[in-house]
Amino acid sequence: MWLVKFLLVLSLFYQVSCVFEKFYCNILQSCDCEFRPNIRDLEWDLYKNVYGQHLAQDIVSEEVGRFLENKSPDRPLVLSFHGSSGTGKTLVSSMLANHLYGSAMNSPYVHQFIPTLHFPVPQQVKKYQEELKSWVQGNLTECARSIFIFDEMEKMPPGLIDVLEPFLGPSHVVFRTNYRKAIYIFISTAGEEVINKAALENRQAGRDREEIKLADLQKDIEQTLYNNNTSGFFQSRIIQQNLVTCFVPFLPLSRRHVERCVHSQLCQQGSCGRSDVVEAVGGNMIYSPIQGQYFSTTGCKAVPAKINFFL
């Protein structure tokens, strides 16, 4: 009999201590899951391993650094990555996850959504909205520092993403948690025409790539997203209310950048010295426009397959 009592008391004690811990975390906001940000490593990785993206490198390291310095941000960090495929958008998003939560995409606090997988049927937007909202809310209750990555936004059914509006702003909607510490990353090819056009004009004018400024692109990307029904942000309130902290352009890559990708991949495979393969893969890409052949149409995307072919 005393054993049963003893166990009862023990389990009661355990429950109370859990409740107390949650209470304590909410008050002090100091139990941030396994959040272990390392900004210095993030910057190093960005500047060393992402090629040809001065805007993305600067913006991501600045915005993330500033956001994490603030112990009680008044709104979450919302970054939207844009550019053609193979320019490094997914690479940068996984670097972020990697340096904020040691275990990258495998962390239980990094959530990735892929429309073709999670939201495949456009007719079911209503159902998906309910699901997405309850997931995000549930995830934030478990961990205020959650990271949400939305890949392939151009395939997102129009209207779905607006369900996140209350989570993204500084509004006073109160959930049980501090939802302002979250990080949201949107990834899409939408806006690539605007970005590629700016890069082409810059190149044709014989200017340095680094002279392309964020201010030249920001508004145009935003407008394209808002007006295009395959951007994921068609007539979105998230755009209307300026809830995206920054639109991050990824520029098209030229041959020298592609060759750096090849070289770095080769080194990872222990074949640093094979400059013949670097040359062969670089020469095997398709470059556009026909007049000038400035930019690789697939960025660094096809590099691993081509290395296997030429190695």
- Paired sense of beta strands 147-150 and 183-188, if any: parallel
139: contact with ligand NAG by CB under 6 A: yes
Buried b (16+ CB within 10 A) or exposed e, 45-68: bbeeebbbbbbbbebbbebbeebb
Identify the residue among 29, 228, 264, 297 touching ligand NAG (CB under 6 A). Answer: 228
Identify the residue among 24, 34, 62, 138 touching ligand NAG (CB under 6 A). Answer: 138
89: contact with ligand NAG by CB under 6 A: no
Dist CA 135 CA 160 (whole Å): 14
Dist CA 130 CA 104 (whole Å): 27
Question: What's the closest the beta carbon of residue 224 comes to ligand NAG, in angstroms?
Answer: 7
Asked if residue 65 belongs to a known ligand binding site, the reply is no
Tokens found for residue 159: 């209207």
Question: What's the closest the beta carbon of residue 227 comes to ligand NAG, in angstroms?
Answer: 7
Q: Which residue has the tokens 């190149």?
A: 203
142: contact with ligand NAG by CB under 6 A: yes
Tokens found for residue 82: 């844009």
Q: Is 142 helix (H, G, I), strand (E, B) or coil?
A: helix
Tokens found for residue 270: 């222990």
87: contact with ligand NAG by CB under 6 A: no
Residue pair 299/87 in contact (Cβ under 8 Å)? The answer is: yes
120: contact with ligand NAG by CB under 6 A: no
Indicate the burial class of 191 (C-beta count within 10 angstroms; 0-12, 13-18, 19 or more).
Answer: buried
Task: Please report, to the nearest 10 degrees, the dihedral formed by the alpha carbons of residues 270, 272, 277, 282 taken in order.
Answer: 120
Asked if residue 245 belongs to a known ligand binding site, the reply is no
Q: Is 203 helix (H, G, I), strand (E, B) or coil?
A: helix
Q: Quick one: 34 or 62, whose CB is closer to ligand NAG?
A: 34
Q: Which stretch binds ligand NAG (CB under 6 A): 66-74, 202-210, 225-233, 294-302?
A: 225-233
130: contact with ligand NAG by CB under 6 A: no
226: contact with ligand NAG by CB under 6 A: no
Q: Which stretch binds ligand NAG (CB under 6 A): 208-216, 226-234, 258-266, 302-310?
A: 226-234
Question: What's the closest the beta carbon of residue 49 comes to ligand NAG, in angstroms?
Answer: 27
Asked if residue 89 belongs to a known ligand binding site, the reply is yes
Q: Residue number with the shortest CB distance to ligand NAG?
A: 138
| Residues at the contact surface with ligand NAG, assessed by CB under 6 A | 111, 135, 138-139, 142, 190, 228-230
Query: Known binding site for ATP: residues?
Result: 83-90
